[in-house]
Amino acid sequence: MFAGIGKKKQKLDSMRPLTEGEVARLKEEFLVEFTYNSNAIEGNTLTLRETAMVLEGITIDKKPLKDHLEVVGHKEAYEYVLDLVQEKVEFTEKVIKDIHSLVLMDKPKDRGVYRSVPVRIMGVNHEPPQPYLVPIQMEQLFVQYKEMKQTMHPLEAIARFHVLFEGVHPFIDGNGRTGRLIMNLELLKQGYLPINVKFADRRRYYECFHKFYEEGNNAKPMIELIGEYVEEMLDRYITILNS
């Protein structure tokens, strides 16, 4: 899989650059799809079309304020991620907290703050650490990620970081959205395109976590899922540039 992705990435890198207009259009399309899917996975009730309308500043009648704020917060968080990549900012715990602060626009007291109560991850047979252990485990996770990046293919390291981050579940809410934004931050820094984990694939996505924690840190399902999404985006861009 990695070899095929590498060849397609090389092919895309060798093709003509996208025009400013093409970049803007594709960025807008991706932002709508990414925001819709990432929020929908967490229970947001806005449709794809309604998400696009909210991103344009339109209020959707009879839909909760919370759902609107989640769209706006996710948009600002993704734009912040793009700025981090552009400015080559080091990936740190502060970056994670800053991303989370934007994501959790609807809960000001919990923004960017590690949780102080125990939590459970629905559908996964794994118990996140007690609150007092969260700062310690997050620090250890960064040490572990640094080692993984030195010994693994970038996509494997990113996939493993994602399942481990969600396993710590450092925040009271917004862990999933924050984790997927972090995933795209790290993909972009490695020269890949951002990916969009689809709401329609949520069962498979959750199963990746289940496999990891039930089968002795088996990250293969998550690596394959992320790899497929990366390849899908490469194919999409290559097709656009060939047209």
Q: Catalytic pick from 68, 74, 100, 169?
A: 169
Cβ within 8 Å of residue 86, ≥6 positions away: none
Residue 81 and residue 184 in contact, taking contact as beta carbons nearer than 8 Å: yes
Answer whether 118's CB lies under 8 Å from 130's CB. Answer: yes
Q: Are 43 and 177 in contact (CB under 8 A)?
A: no
Q: Report CA dihedral (154, 156, 160, 165) to the nearest 10 degrees.
A: 30
Handedness of CA 152, 158, 162, 165 (dihedral sign): positive
Compute how many other C-beta atoms are within 10 angstroms of the C-beta atom of residue 146.
11
Q: Return d(Cα 165, Cα 9) in angstroms, integer.
A: 27
Residue 169 bears catalytic tag: yes
Longest dimension (CA), the chain: 54
In terms of DSSP H, where are the helices of 56-153? 65-87, 93-103, 134-151
Annotated catalytic sites, by residue?
A: 169
